[in-house]
Structure 1
Amino acid sequence: MKKILLFTFFIINSTLYSQDKKIEIQEYKYVIDSIYSTNLKDYRTIKVFLPKDYSEKQKYPIIYTLDGKWMFEPTVSESKILMDFDVIPKSIIIGVFHKNRNEDLGINWNTGEFDKSSLNFYNFLNQELIPKINSTYSSSGFNTLVGHSNSATFCAKVLTQKEQPFNGFVALSQNLFGNQLQEYIEFTKKTFNNLVFYFVASGKRDATPRIESGMKLDSLFKINQNVNIKTQHSIYDADHSGIAGRGLNNGISHIFSEYKHYNDWNDKLIDSLLAKNISSVNFINEHSKKMKSIYGINFKVNQDDLSLMQAMTQNDNDIKSVQDYEIENFGKTKDFYATYAQFYEYSKSYDKALEYWSINLEKYYKENTSFFYYRRPIDLLNKKMKYPKKAIKFAEKWKEKAPEYSQNFNLKIAEITLESNLKKKVGLKAIREYLKNYNKESDTDLEKAKELEKKLKE
């Protein structure tokens, strides 16, 4: 692989000023290479986009786009958006350029077979380009082929080849010739060890044969019973070129449709897992294995996945296992103790909850910006553990250490005294201190305080 340029920029990395307006310009890089092919007996140019923070220690799916002259940059742009929002895993993009696209991509209109030059080009992809890329970059082994128009028809032909090297296909405005449709039907009857993803996009304002090809495939997709073939056909109000603009994002998303994170809003999933007695840690671990099996990647669990695991906790053992998982994968964040204090409360492990609230306060009370972190353990002691005296002592202790919240503490002490029929002098002392120091800027309730004083005097 001969490197023509080490890198170039799609966008200049600089900041421009126009009178009083500041314009920030972002950058991203690609490598331009030239590969000599013994199959083609000629060179082919490729462009390589590496995702941000690319590392040889990680494995990346690779998206190959044909018609690199006009499809490479849109494929990079759409893929980058999806990567940035973690819709798809970080991936490498390869743009393949043609000297004569009709020769590289030609399919016999009568038979639907490769012609001599396109077969050579397919062999170049299979036997030369992919092995070179795999030896140069950190490939996960999951390859996607993207094509538009003639290159989409070429994609459909590659899909049905024996031992072809791609797992995903994005065919934008394809046409099928000769025996190609029947080849696809036969293809769906095969047994596959891995998933195959196939996305087809058609346009209402495209050429009639292309729309018809899409609709025929659409009918087959609807009756597909091969669980290892994941298909989708989308039709857009678009012309021939517009299909690429409309369908590219959806196509790439379909290829990575098994890649997903979970969260605590998925009540149906949570209820299902709990009903089957499946632990959250096992569920996420199995999902990680699945991502490795399908896409060849080391799935990186995020905070959303963790929230699902936390939402499934029902007892101390569950909480402990999720805690251990979080520490191993994320470490202990500032919110660690406060978060698990609440989960211990939900599981009615009140002593453990109080322990965690207390640890959180001891570690972070100087950084606290909300009375919430004090109110919760006070309410825990008073309402759930039924220890109002201890709740008052807890409040008095922290009032001394966090005087910025003294008004909140005083109001809380007065409330507990009144509710619990304790010695009213403790409550009166607190509420009078509150009224004496009342500040309009405070987020506490003056009228409520006056009412408390009135009742405590009775």
Structure 2
Amino acid sequence: MSKIYLFLAIFFVTTFSNAQAIYKSIDSRMLGQERQIKIQLPRNYDKNPENHYPVILVLDGDYLFEPIAGNVDFFSYWDDIPEAIVVGINQAGSRRADTYADDIQYFPSKSGKNFFDFIGGELFPFINSTYRTTNFNVIAGHDLTANFANFYLFKDRPLFQAYINLSPDLSPQMAGRLYQALGSTGSQKWFYLATASNDVAELKRSIEQLHLQLNTIDNDNLHYTFDNFDKPFHYSLVAHAIPRALEQIFAAYKPINLEEYEELKTDDSSPLAFLNKKYGTIKNLYGVNLPVRLNDFLAVGKAIEHKENWDELEKLGELALKQDPDSMLGSYYMAKSLEERGKTKKAMRMYESAYDKKEAGFITADFMIRKAELIKKDFGY
């Protein structure tokens, strides 16, 4: 499995690079210098001026930006995660200064504090004022920068909701502080932690000890994932970890899968309520206004039909018609509901009314014609 992740990560970067990087220089008052950044906008950014997007900030952007941006582009292309704006900060030659912390409190100090304030006080205001962003922010880093990213968790109102820790070089007291902050968080937080069998030995030991602590946290607001990959080294583990981290952070966004569909068919819950809750969760967590996907309409529709809840199927049809009145989907659900409740003439007319609408999955013009013709044949209309 780890070999597959490595191959895919390389494939993402080399093949799915249609979303072009934008290179900018920010003249920072806090840093007293210009800082180079890279920005990847979603490939459909200009086509969808009404859409807003989460932001993924990549520290060590000189080498970490491309693999993360490539994965984001690939996964969002297949609709497994939302489209996102990826921002990388180049730190070649400055990462030690950028991550500097004092030897007493072990918090960012001097050049480290300046860099910390630059991200929150200059970079994000620039990104938010220039591009269409949501309030969901992710930060990713590797060893020193991964450790540094975690300092944002200790703010009263953290700038980031999700943290990708790729083999973090943990500073003194960091483990205890993370345990306390994540254990007591009153808002949704995602924390991804990764090491590997051939990681730097000292880092690996401290990361595994941190995992033992974090794994005991009982807090419904924390979404925690740990990976200890077999065979990768300190740098190669990055390629394995990135897709895993993105899948974990955006798990709620994914289309309804086969396991969820089978549960919807067999349990006592309302499939329509499940659908409404799912898309409400996507909006509340990620700030993304996502229309209900065809896959999810079809899964929920099949589950409702299996339960023979025809009143609920009618409500699903109303939702589909409201979202896209030009699609056959809503007309089919409305007609099917009418037919099963014995209102055959109305059902026939509803099937016929959809002949010239857009097809949706298995719902084609021929399919709708056959449905209407069968009613005519059976009832002599």
Tell me the TM-score normalized by structure 2.
0.82
Q: Which amino acid aligns with 1:149?
A: D
Distance in 2, matches of 1:66 and 1:228, equals: 25
Distance in 2, matches of 1:109 and 1:269, equals: 55
**CA contact under 8 A between 2:326 and 2:357: conserved in structure 1?**
no
1:328 is aligned to 322
1:93 is aligned to 86
Out of 258, 263, 266, the residue aligned to residue 261 of structure 2 is: 266
Write out per-residue CA displacement over residues 420-447 of structure 1, whole angstroms, 9 at most, x where no aligned residue: xxxxxxxxxxxxxxxxxxxxxxxxxxxx
Q: Which amino acid aligns with 1:235?
A: N
Write out per-residue CA displacement over residues 314-350 of structure 1, whole angstroms, 9 at most, x where no aligned residue: 4553233222211111223256655654555556654
1:28 is aligned to 19
Partner SS, residue 184 of structure 2: coil
Distance in 2, matches of 1:210 and 1:351, equals: 71
1:89 is displaced (CA, Å) by 0.7
> How many percent identity over aligned positions?
23
Partner SS, residue 243 of structure 2: helix
Alignment of structure 1 residues 203-218 onto 2, 5 Å: 203-218=196-211
1:87 is displaced (CA, Å) by 1.1
**CA contact under 8 A between 1:60 and 1:91: conserved in structure 2?**
yes
Q: Does 2:245 correspond to 1:245?
A: no
Q: Does 2:114 correspond to 1:120?
A: yes
1:269 is displaced (CA, Å) by 3.1
**CA contact under 8 A between 1:176 and 1:213: conserved in structure 2?**
yes
Distance in 2, matches of 1:243 and 1:295, equals: 27
Q: Which amino acid aligns with 1:199?
A: Y
Alignment of structure 1 residues 352-391 onto 2, 5 Å: 352-359=346-353, 390=380
Partner SS, residue 236 of structure 2: helix
1:160 is displaced (CA, Å) by 3.0
RMSD: 3.1
Q: Does 2:55 correspond to 1:78?
A: no
| Unaligned 5+ runs, structure 2 | 1-14
Alignment of structure 1 residues 128-139 onto 2, 5 Å: 128-139=122-133
1:305 is aligned to 296
**CA contact under 8 A between 2:348 and 2:371: conserved in structure 1?**
no
1:300 is displaced (CA, Å) by 2.4
Distance in 2, matches of 1:363 and 1:167, equals: 42
Out of 296, 299, 302, the residue aligned to residue 287 of structure 2 is: 296
CA spacing shift, 1:35–1:359, aligned 2, 3 Å: closer
Out of 154, 159, 166, the residue aligned to residue 165 of structure 1 is: 159
1:414 is aligned to none
Q: Which amino acid aligns with 2:193?
A: V
Distance in 1, matches of 2:344 and 2:299, equals: 22
Distance in 1, matches of 2:16 and 2:218, equals: 49
Q: Which amino acid aligns with 1:165?
A: L
Out of 49, 52, 57, the residue aligned to residue 43 of structure 2 is: 52
Q: Which amino acid aligns with 1:155?
A: A
Distance in 1, matches of 2:364 and 2:58, equals: 51
Write out per-residue CA displacement over residues 205-234 of structure 1, whole angstroms, 9 at most, x where no aligned residue: 011122122212322232211111111011
Write out per-residue CA displacement over residues 143-172 of structure 1, whole angstroms, 9 at most, x where no aligned residue: 110111211121233333443311111111
1:130 is displaced (CA, Å) by 0.9
**CA contact under 8 A between 1:109 and 1:177: conserved in structure 2?**
no
Write out per-residue CA displacement over residues 290-321 of structure 1, whole angstroms, 9 at most, x where no aligned residue: 22221112122111221244232545532332
Alignment of structure 1 residues 226-241 onto 2, 5 Å: 226-237=219-230, 238-241=232-235
CA spacing shift, 1:191–1:355, aligned 2, 3 Å: same
Partner SS, residue 171 of structure 2: coil
Distance in 2, matches of 1:52 and 1:376, equals: 40
| Unaligned 5+ runs, structure 1 | 1-23, 395-458
1:181 is aligned to 175
